[in-house]
Structure 1
Amino acid sequence: MKILAIDDQKLVLIPLEIRLKELGYEVVTETNALTGIALFSSFQPDLVIVDLNMPIVSGMEVVKHIRNIKKSTTPIMILSGNTDDSMIIQGFDLGINDYMKKPLSLLEVCARVKRLIGAPEAKNKDINYKGVIIQQRCVGVVIPCYNEEKRLLSNQFTNFIEKNSGYHLCFVNDGSKDKTLEVLNNLRKGREEFITVYNCEKNGGKGEAVRQGMLHMAKKEDLDYIGFLDADLSTDLSDFDDLVSTIENSDYKIVSGSRISRMGANINKESAREIISLTINFIIRKILSMDFKDTQCGAKIFKKDVIEISFGEKFVTQWIFDVEIFRRITLHFGLKKAKQILCEKPLKRWVHTDGSKLSMKDSVKIIGQLGQIAWFYNKKKQIKKD
C-alpha cells in the first residue's frame, strides 16, 4: 500500500514518514506541491496526504488536480493548521475523504490512515506512537554551548524532538576547551534532520554564539519561528513551547520568557544574585523606557522578519546582548510600536543551575556594560535622526 505525503515543511513529514513505514506502508514525501502533483501520476499512491497552506501551489490545488483533472477517486487526507470552515467545506465538496487539524496526534493520523486504506502486513504491529504530536508550525532553537560536556542534558533534548515534530535544534559550540563538540556530534548522529551542530572555533561569548546560530537558522526556509534557549535547560523545553504558542497565536514579533513576573511559580535563585539582578533590571528599564521585568531570561522566540534587525550586527557587549536586541527593536520600529510587538511571558518553572558562567564579580561588571549600551545606541539614534 502506497502513500504520497505533500507538505512544504520537511520537519512535519519526517516523523509521519517514519511511522507509516514502520507500519508497513510504502511512503514517498515531497515538500514541493508541483513535484507532488507529478509524483501522483508516476507513483500511483493508494492515499494522498496533503497540507493546505503551501507557497506557490496550495494543497487545495493538489486536490483539484487529482479530482478534476485526473478524475481519480484515490483517497485524500488533509492535515492542516487551517481552521477556516469555508476551506474545510470546499475540501469536502471537492471530494476529500478526511480533514485533520494540526496540531494533532500521530496515533490518530495512523488510525485514520488504516481506516481509509486498511493496514498492510507489518512486522512492527506493536509500535507505540503515544504522545507524538504533529505540529502546525516549525521552530528552530539555538542552544549556545561553552564547556558543556558534563552539564548537557542530552536525553531531555532528544526525548523532546522525538515527541514534538516541527522542532530543529541548533547547538552552537562556542570554542569549548573540553569535549563539548564531541558530545554534540554524537547527539546529532541519526538525527541530522532535527539537529544541527554549528562550530565556532574561537570562543566569542554567549551573545556572539547566539547571533551566529540565529543567522544560520534564519536561512532555513521551512522554519516559521526561531528562538534561543540555555543549554542547562533552566527553562525547560515544554515552557519554551508555551512561548512558541504565544507568538503563534498573536501579533507579537518577539516573546521573551520572564522568571520574575510569575508570582508563586517555581522560581529558585540564589538571594544575592537576585538582588543584583533586580538592581540591574531597574537600570535596564530606564535605558529601554519599557517596563520589562526580566530581559535576561535565556529563552526567547522571534518571528523571522525581525531576525536580521535583532542579530544582523555584532553586539557591543558580551553578556547583556538581550538588552541590545530590545534597544535595536525600539530604534527600528519606534518605542510605541516596539511595545506592541514585544511580549514578556511568565515562565511556569525556572531553576538556577550550578555551574553558570557569570560570577558575582561579572554581575557587577554588567552595570558598566549597560553604560556602554546607553551611550552606543543613543549615539546611533542621534545619527538616525540626522
Structure 2
Amino acid sequence: MKILTIDDQTLILLSVEKRLQEMGYIVKTAASGKEGIATFNTFQPDLVLVDINMPDMDGLEVVKQIRRIEEKKTPILVMSGNTNEDVIMQGFDLGVDDYMKKPVSLNEMVARIKRLIGSPEIQKAPQSGEARMLQKHCVGVVIPCYNEEERLSSKEFKDFAHKNLGYHLCFVNDGSTDDTLRVLEGLKAGNEENISIYDCAKNGGKAEAVRQGMLHLEKDPQLDYIGFLDADLSTDFRDFDELVQTLESSEFKIVSGSRMSRMGADITKESARKIISMTINLIIRTILKMPFNDTQCGAKIMERGIVKTLFTKPFITKWLFDVEIFMRMRKFYGKQEVRKYICEQPLKRWIHADGSKLSMKDSMKIVGQLAKIAIAYK
C-alpha cells in the first residue's frame, strides 16, 4: 500500500515517513503543495496525508486539485496544527476523509490510516510502541555548551528529541577545551534528523554562543519558534514545552521563564545567590522600566520573525544579554506596545546545578555591566 505525505516541514515529513515505512507502507514525501500534486499524478497513492498550512499552495487547495483530477476517490487524511473550525469544516466539504489536530501521536496517526486503507500485506513490527508526539509547530532550541562534558545529560536530551517530533535541538559548542564536542557528537549520532551541532572555534561567552545559534536556526524556514535553554537542564523540558504552548495560544512574541518562588513550584537556589539575584533584579527592573521578576532565567522561546531584530547585533555583555534582548524589544516596539508582546511565565521546577560558569565574583561585576547597558540603550 502506497502513502503520499505532503508537508513543508522536514522535521515532520522525516518522522512520518520513517514510522510508516516501519509499518510496511510504501511512502513518498513532498515538501510543498505543488510538488505533492505532481507526485500524486505519478505515484498514484492509496492514501494522501496532507498538512493545511503551507506557503505556496495550502492543504485545502491540494485537496481541491486531487478531487478534481482523479477518477477514484483516494482517501485523504489531514494532519495539521490548524484547529480553526471553519477550516476543518471546509476540508470535509471538499472531501477529506479524516482530520487530525496536532499535537498528535504517531500511534494515533497509524491507527487512523489503518481504519481508512487497512494494514500493509507485509506488516513490520515498529521499533518502538511508545507514544511519540508530532508537535503543533516546529521548534528550534539553542543549547549553549562550554566545558559541559561532566554535566551534559545526554539521555534526557535524546529521550526528549525522540518523543517530541517537531523539535530541533541545536547544541552550540562554545570553544570547549574538554571533551564536550565528543560528547555532543555521540548525542547526535542516530538523531541527525532533530539534533545538530554548531561548533565555534573560539570561546566567545554564553551571549555570543546563543546569538550565533539563534541566527543559525533562523535560517531554517521550517521552524516556527526558536528559543534557548541551559545545557544543565536547570529548567527541564516539561516547563520549556509549556512556554511553547503559551506562545502558540497567544499574541506574544516572546515567552520567558521565571524562577519566581510560588506555591507548588520546586524552585531551589543557593541562599547567597538568591539574595544577590533579588538585588540585581531590582536594578534590572529600574533600567527596563518593566515589571520583570526574573530576566535572567535561561529558558526563552520566541517567534522566528523577531530573531534577526534581537540577535543580529552582538551583545555588549557576556552574561546579561537577556536584559539586552528586552531592551531591544522595547526599542523596536516602543515603551507602551512592548508589554503586549512579552510574557513572563513562572516555572514549576528549577534547580540550581553545580558547576555553574557564573561565579560569585562575576555576580559582583554585574552592577557595572548593567550601568553599561543602561548607557548604551538610553
Q: Structure 2 length as normaliser, TM-score?
A: 0.97
Residue pair 2:79, 2:101 contacting (<8 A) in 1 also: yes
Residue pair 1:106, 1:129 contacting (<8 A) in 2 also: no
State the partner residue of 2:66: 66
State the partner residue of 2:352: 352
State the partner residue of 1:111: 111
State the partner residue of 1:342: 342
Q: How does 1:172-321 map to 2 (within 5 A)?
A: 172-260=172-260, 262-321=262-321
Q: Counterpart of 1:163 in structure 2: which amino acid?
A: K
Q: How far 1:104 sits from its partner (Å)?
A: 1.1
Residue pair 1:262, 1:347 contacting (<8 A) in 2 also: no
**Most deviating of 275-284 and 79-88:** 79-88
Q: Counterpart of 1:58 in structure 2: which amino acid?
A: D
CA separation in 2, counterparts of 1:254 and 1:92?
Answer: 35
Residue pair 2:19, 2:126 contacting (<8 A) in 1 also: no
Residue pair 1:243, 1:255 contacting (<8 A) in 2 also: yes
Q: Structure 2 stretches of 5 or more lacking a match?
A: none
Judging changes above 3 Å, is the alpha-carbon distance between structure 1 residues 119 and 264 closer, same or farther for their aligned structure 2 residues? closer
Q: Counterpart of 2:207 in structure 1: which amino acid?
A: G
**Most deviating of 229-238 and 71-80:** 71-80
Q: How does 1:365-376 map to 2 (within 5 A)?
A: 365-376=365-376
Cα offsets for 1:198-239 (capped at 9, x unmatched): 011100000000000000000000000000000000001111
State the partner residue of 2:90: 90
CA separation in 1, counterparts of 2:86 and 2:291?
Answer: 42
Q: How far 1:71 sits from its partner (Å)?
A: 3.4
Structure 1 counterpart SS, 2:356: coil
Q: Counterpart of 1:98 in structure 2: which amino acid?
A: D
State the partner residue of 2:27: 27
- Percent identical among aligned pairs is 61
Q: How far 1:28 sits from its partner (Å)?
A: 1.0
CA separation in 1, counterparts of 2:295 and 2:311?
Answer: 16
Q: How far 1:123 sits from its partner (Å)?
A: 5.4
Residue pair 2:161, 2:195 contacting (<8 A) in 1 also: no
Residue pair 1:11, 1:194 contacting (<8 A) in 2 also: yes
Q: How far 1:141 sits from its partner (Å)?
A: 0.1
Q: How far 1:346 sits from its partner (Å)?
A: 0.5
CA separation in 2, counterparts of 1:94 and 1:377?
Answer: 54
Residue pair 2:77, 2:96 contacting (<8 A) in 1 also: yes
Q: How far 1:127 sits from its partner (Å)?
A: 4.8
Structure 2 counterpart SS, 1:21: helix
> 4+ residue stretches of structure 1 with deviation over 4 A?
none
Q: How far 1:13 sits from its partner (Å)?
A: 1.6
State the partner residue of 1:149: 149
Cα offsets for 1:168-224 (capped at 9, x unmatched): 011000000001111111211222221110011100000000000000000000000
CA separation in 1, counterparts of 2:99 and 2:53?
Answer: 13
Structure 2 counterpart SS, 1:353: coil
CA separation in 2, counterparts of 1:319 and 1:152?
Answer: 20
Q: How far 1:88 sits from its partner (Å)?
A: 1.9
CA separation in 2, counterparts of 1:86 and 1:322?
Answer: 40
CA separation in 2, counterparts of 1:160 and 1:9?
Answer: 19
CA separation in 2, counterparts of 1:248 and 1:163?
Answer: 19
CA separation in 2, counterparts of 1:53 and 1:10?
Answer: 14
Cα offsets for 1:280-325 (capped at 9, x unmatched): 0000000000110000000000111211121110001111110011
Residue pair 2:103, 2:134 contacting (<8 A) in 1 also: yes
Q: How far 1:128 sits from its partner (Å)?
A: 3.8
Q: How far 1:338 sits from its partner (Å)?
A: 1.1
Q: Structure 1 stretches of 5 or more lacking a match?
A: 379-386
Residue pair 1:22, 1:122 contacting (<8 A) in 2 also: no
CA separation in 2, counterparts of 1:236 and 1:351?
Answer: 9
State the partner residue of 1:10: 10
Structure 2 counterpart SS, 1:135: strand
Q: Counterpart of 1:49 in structure 2: which amino acid?
A: L
CA separation in 2, counterparts of 1:291 and 1:355?
Answer: 30
State the partner residue of 2:139: 139
**Most deviating of 162-171 and 95-104:** 95-104
Residue pair 1:267, 1:349 contacting (<8 A) in 2 also: yes
Cα offsets for 1:135-180 (capped at 9, x unmatched): 1200000000000111111110110111111100110000000011
Judging changes above 3 Å, is the alpha-carbon distance between structure 1 residues 89 and 165 closer, same or farther for their aligned structure 2 residues? same
Q: How far 1:85 sits from its partner (Å)?
A: 2.3
State the partner residue of 1:75: 75
Q: How far 1:69 sits from its partner (Å)?
A: 2.4
Residue pair 1:225, 1:303 contacting (<8 A) in 2 also: yes
CA separation in 2, counterparts of 1:85 and 1:372?
Answer: 51
Q: Counterpart of 2:94 in structure 1: which amino acid?
A: L
CA separation in 1, counterparts of 2:83 and 2:123?
Answer: 36
